[in-house]
Protein backbone atom coordinates (compact mmCIF):
# COMPACT_ATOMS: atom_id res chain seq x y z
CA UNK A 1 0.00 0.00 0.00
CA UNK A 2 1.27 3.49 -0.84
CA UNK A 3 2.37 5.66 2.07
CA UNK A 4 1.28 9.27 1.73
CA UNK A 5 4.20 11.69 1.98
CA UNK A 6 3.37 14.91 3.84
CA UNK A 7 5.21 18.15 4.52
CA UNK A 8 3.65 19.96 7.48
CA UNK A 9 4.15 23.19 9.40
CA UNK A 10 6.18 22.71 12.57
CA UNK A 11 3.35 24.03 14.75
CA UNK A 12 1.33 20.93 13.80
CA UNK A 13 3.97 18.56 15.18
CA UNK A 14 2.17 18.05 18.51
CA UNK A 15 -1.29 17.32 17.10
CA UNK A 16 -0.23 15.45 13.96
CA UNK A 17 0.35 11.97 15.49
CA UNK A 18 -3.22 11.95 16.87
CA UNK A 19 -4.61 13.18 13.56
CA UNK A 20 -2.73 10.57 11.55
CA UNK A 21 -3.70 7.78 13.96
CA UNK A 22 -7.36 8.68 13.52
CA UNK A 23 -6.89 8.96 9.74
CA UNK A 24 -5.24 5.53 9.60
CA UNK A 25 -8.01 4.01 11.75
CA UNK A 26 -10.64 5.50 9.43
CA UNK A 27 -9.02 4.73 6.07
CA UNK A 28 -6.26 2.17 6.62
CA UNK A 29 -3.83 4.51 4.83
CA UNK A 30 -0.37 5.21 6.22
CA UNK A 31 1.52 8.51 6.22
CA UNK A 32 5.09 9.76 6.50
CA UNK A 33 5.46 13.38 7.63
CA UNK A 34 8.33 15.84 7.72
CA UNK A 35 7.91 19.09 9.66
CA UNK A 36 9.43 22.52 9.20
CA UNK A 37 8.68 26.24 8.78
CA UNK A 38 5.94 26.42 6.15
CA UNK A 39 7.75 29.00 4.02
CA UNK A 40 10.84 26.82 3.78
CA UNK A 41 8.71 23.74 3.03
CA UNK A 42 7.03 25.61 0.17
CA UNK A 43 10.47 26.41 -1.24
CA UNK A 44 11.39 22.72 -1.12
CA UNK A 45 8.26 21.85 -3.10
CA UNK A 46 9.01 24.58 -5.64
CA UNK A 47 12.53 23.18 -5.99
CA UNK A 48 11.12 19.78 -6.93
CA UNK A 49 10.69 17.83 -3.70
CA UNK A 50 7.83 15.34 -3.99
CA UNK A 51 4.97 15.17 -1.52
CA UNK A 52 1.30 14.28 -1.68
CA UNK A 53 0.02 16.93 0.69
CA UNK A 54 1.43 20.13 2.20
CA UNK A 55 -0.12 21.42 5.46
CA UNK A 56 0.68 25.11 5.93
CA UNK A 57 0.22 27.52 8.85
CA UNK A 58 -1.13 30.12 6.45
CA UNK A 59 -3.26 30.38 3.31
CA UNK A 60 -0.64 32.15 1.20
CA UNK A 61 1.77 29.26 0.65
CA UNK A 62 -0.86 26.75 -0.55
CA UNK A 63 -2.41 29.43 -2.77
CA UNK A 64 1.00 30.15 -4.30
CA UNK A 65 1.53 26.48 -5.12
CA UNK A 66 -1.92 26.34 -6.71
CA UNK A 67 -1.23 29.45 -8.81
CA UNK A 68 2.06 27.96 -10.01
CA UNK A 69 0.42 24.71 -11.07
CA UNK A 70 2.21 22.65 -8.40
CA UNK A 71 -0.96 21.91 -6.41
CA UNK A 72 -4.31 20.67 -7.68
CA UNK A 73 -6.49 22.03 -4.85
CA UNK A 74 -6.33 23.84 -1.50
CA UNK A 75 -8.57 24.08 1.55
CA UNK A 76 -8.66 25.57 5.04
CA UNK A 77 -8.79 23.17 7.98
CA UNK A 78 -8.05 24.94 11.29
CA UNK A 79 -6.91 28.19 12.91
CA UNK A 80 -4.62 29.46 15.64
CA UNK A 81 -3.70 32.72 17.37
CA UNK A 82 -0.72 34.21 19.20
CA UNK A 83 0.35 34.28 22.84
CA UNK A 84 3.28 35.71 24.79
CA UNK A 85 5.43 33.47 26.98
CA UNK A 86 7.54 35.14 29.66
CA UNK A 87 10.14 34.02 32.17
CA UNK A 88 8.07 34.12 35.35
CA UNK A 89 10.78 35.77 37.46
CA UNK A 90 10.78 38.90 35.26
CA UNK A 91 7.00 39.40 35.58
CA UNK A 92 5.83 41.93 38.18
CA UNK A 93 2.40 41.89 39.83
CA UNK A 94 0.91 44.52 37.54
CA UNK A 95 2.45 43.33 34.27
CA UNK A 96 0.30 42.56 31.24
CA UNK A 97 1.30 41.17 27.85
CA UNK A 98 1.58 44.75 26.57
CA UNK A 99 3.59 46.14 29.48
CA UNK A 100 6.06 43.27 29.14
CA UNK A 101 6.55 44.03 25.45
CA UNK A 102 7.21 47.67 26.34
CA UNK A 103 10.09 46.80 28.66
CA UNK A 104 13.40 47.40 26.89
CA UNK A 105 15.27 45.44 29.55
CA UNK A 106 13.65 42.19 28.37
CA UNK A 107 14.93 40.27 25.35
CA UNK A 108 12.11 39.48 22.93
CA UNK A 109 12.38 36.51 20.56
CA UNK A 110 10.15 35.63 17.61
CA UNK A 111 10.01 33.35 14.62
CA UNK A 112 11.41 34.55 11.28
CA UNK A 113 9.01 36.41 8.94
CA UNK A 114 8.72 35.10 5.34
CA UNK A 115 10.29 31.75 6.26
CA UNK A 116 7.82 30.99 9.06
CA UNK A 117 4.17 32.16 9.16
CA UNK A 118 4.45 32.57 12.95
CA UNK A 119 6.92 35.38 12.25
CA UNK A 120 4.56 36.90 9.67
CA UNK A 121 1.67 36.85 12.15
CA UNK A 122 3.90 38.40 14.84
CA UNK A 123 4.79 41.25 12.47
CA UNK A 124 1.06 41.76 11.84
CA UNK A 125 0.62 41.98 15.62
CA UNK A 126 3.35 44.62 15.76
CA UNK A 127 1.46 46.48 13.02
CA UNK A 128 -1.71 46.53 15.15
CA UNK A 129 0.29 47.76 18.15
CA UNK A 130 1.78 50.50 15.95
CA UNK A 131 -1.71 51.65 14.92
CA UNK A 132 -2.86 51.89 18.55
CA UNK A 133 0.41 53.22 19.99
CA UNK A 134 2.44 55.01 17.29
CA UNK A 135 6.13 54.17 17.52
CA UNK A 136 5.74 51.09 19.71
CA UNK A 137 5.15 48.59 16.94
CA UNK A 138 8.13 49.77 14.90
CA UNK A 139 10.30 49.64 18.01
CA UNK A 140 9.24 46.05 18.63
CA UNK A 141 10.19 45.09 15.06
CA UNK A 142 13.66 46.52 15.68
CA UNK A 143 14.03 44.85 19.08
CA UNK A 144 12.70 41.42 18.15
CA UNK A 145 15.33 38.71 17.79
CA UNK A 146 14.29 36.34 14.98
CA UNK A 147 15.72 33.19 16.53
CA UNK A 148 13.67 30.32 15.05
CA UNK A 149 12.01 29.38 11.77
CA UNK A 150 14.69 30.70 9.42
CA UNK A 151 17.24 28.96 7.20
CA UNK A 152 20.10 29.63 9.63
CA UNK A 153 18.10 29.70 12.87
CA UNK A 154 18.95 27.94 16.09
CA UNK A 155 17.86 24.31 15.99
CA UNK A 156 15.24 23.69 18.67
CA UNK A 157 15.71 20.08 19.85
CA UNK A 158 13.00 17.63 18.82
CA UNK A 159 10.25 17.49 21.42
CA UNK A 160 11.10 20.89 22.90
CA UNK A 161 8.84 23.93 22.60
CA UNK A 162 10.62 26.95 21.12
CA UNK A 163 9.38 29.35 23.82
CA UNK A 164 10.49 27.08 26.65
CA UNK A 165 13.81 26.14 25.08
CA UNK A 166 14.85 29.68 24.12
CA UNK A 167 14.04 30.97 27.61
CA UNK A 168 15.67 27.99 29.36
CA UNK A 169 18.82 28.41 27.26
CA UNK A 170 18.89 32.12 28.17
CA UNK A 171 18.47 33.29 24.57
CA UNK A 172 15.35 35.30 25.47
CA UNK A 173 13.10 36.50 28.28
CA UNK A 174 9.96 36.72 26.14
CA UNK A 175 8.72 34.78 23.12
CA UNK A 176 5.73 35.39 20.86
CA UNK A 177 4.39 32.18 19.37
CA UNK A 178 1.22 30.22 18.70
CA UNK A 179 -1.46 30.02 21.38
CA UNK A 180 -1.89 26.31 20.64
CA UNK A 181 1.32 25.73 22.65
CA UNK A 182 -0.16 27.37 25.77
CA UNK A 183 -1.73 24.17 27.22
CA UNK A 184 1.75 22.59 27.30
CA UNK A 185 3.67 25.70 28.35
CA UNK A 186 1.52 26.40 31.42
CA UNK A 187 2.78 23.19 33.03
CA UNK A 188 6.26 24.75 33.35
CA UNK A 189 6.20 26.67 36.62
CA UNK A 190 9.05 28.98 35.62
CA UNK A 191 7.07 30.28 32.62
CA UNK A 192 3.97 32.45 32.42
CA UNK A 193 1.76 32.56 29.34
CA UNK A 194 -0.22 35.68 28.45
CA UNK A 195 -3.11 35.46 25.99
CA UNK A 196 -3.25 38.42 23.62
CA UNK A 197 -6.72 40.00 23.46
CA UNK A 198 -8.87 40.00 20.34
CA UNK A 199 -8.40 43.63 19.24
CA UNK A 200 -4.69 42.94 18.79
CA UNK A 201 -4.49 39.20 18.17
CA UNK A 202 -4.14 37.62 14.76
CA UNK A 203 -6.28 34.88 13.20
CA UNK A 204 -3.74 32.38 11.92
CA UNK A 205 -5.50 30.23 9.30
CA UNK A 206 -4.11 26.83 8.30
CA UNK A 207 -4.61 25.29 4.87
CA UNK A 208 -3.59 22.21 2.94
CA UNK A 209 -2.38 22.02 -0.63
CA UNK A 210 -3.02 18.76 -2.46
CA UNK A 211 -0.22 17.87 -4.85
CA UNK A 212 -1.35 14.40 -5.94
CA UNK A 213 -4.72 12.69 -6.26
CA UNK A 214 -3.60 10.16 -3.63
CA UNK A 215 -4.05 12.87 -0.97
CA UNK A 216 -7.82 13.26 -1.53
CA UNK A 217 -8.77 11.04 1.47
CA UNK A 218 -6.40 12.96 3.75
CA UNK A 219 -7.60 16.38 2.60
CA UNK A 220 -11.17 15.23 3.19
CA UNK A 221 -10.31 13.92 6.65
CA UNK A 222 -8.61 17.16 7.74
CA UNK A 223 -11.93 18.98 7.25
CA UNK A 224 -13.97 16.34 9.08
CA UNK A 225 -15.64 16.66 12.48
CA UNK A 226 -13.26 14.04 13.90
CA UNK A 227 -10.20 16.05 12.86
CA UNK A 228 -11.68 19.30 14.22
CA UNK A 229 -12.26 17.65 17.61
CA UNK A 230 -8.63 16.50 17.80
CA UNK A 231 -7.37 19.92 16.74
CA UNK A 232 -9.44 21.65 19.43
CA UNK A 233 -8.06 19.27 22.06
CA UNK A 234 -4.58 20.46 21.11
CA UNK A 235 -5.37 24.17 21.42
CA UNK A 236 -6.34 24.97 17.82
CA UNK A 237 -9.59 26.72 16.99
Domains and CATH numbers, the chain: 3-79+204-233 (3.40.190.10), 82-195 (3.40.190.10)
Q: Per-residue pLDDT tens for 13-32?
A: 999 999 999 999 999 999 99
Do strands 53-56 and 204-210 pair parallel, antiparallel, or not at all (unpaired)?
antiparallel
pLDDT more than 70, % of the chain:
100
Output the pLDDT for position 155: 84
Query: Which contacts of 100-108 are long-range, i.e. CB under 8 A and separated by 24 or more positions?
Result: 100/174, 100/194, 101/129, 101/136, 101/140, 101/174, 102/136, 104/143, 106/173, 106/174, 107/145, 107/171, 107/172, 107/173, 107/174, 108/140, 108/143, 108/144, 108/145, 108/172, 108/173, 108/174, 108/175, 108/176
Q: Per-residue pLDDT tens for 154-171?
A: 888 888 899 999 999 999
Per-residue pLDDT band for 111 (boundaries 50, 70, 90) equals: very high
Q: With a cut of 90, say whether residue 1 has pLDDT above it.
A: no
Q: Per-residue pLDDT tens for 96-106?
A: 999 999 999 99
Amino acid sequence: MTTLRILAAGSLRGVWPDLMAAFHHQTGLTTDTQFGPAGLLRQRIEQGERCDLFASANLHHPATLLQRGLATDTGKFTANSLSLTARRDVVTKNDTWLSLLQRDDLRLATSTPLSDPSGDYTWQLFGKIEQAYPGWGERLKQRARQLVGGIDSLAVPTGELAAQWLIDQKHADLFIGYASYAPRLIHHSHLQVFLIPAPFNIQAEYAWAMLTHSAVPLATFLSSAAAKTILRQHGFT
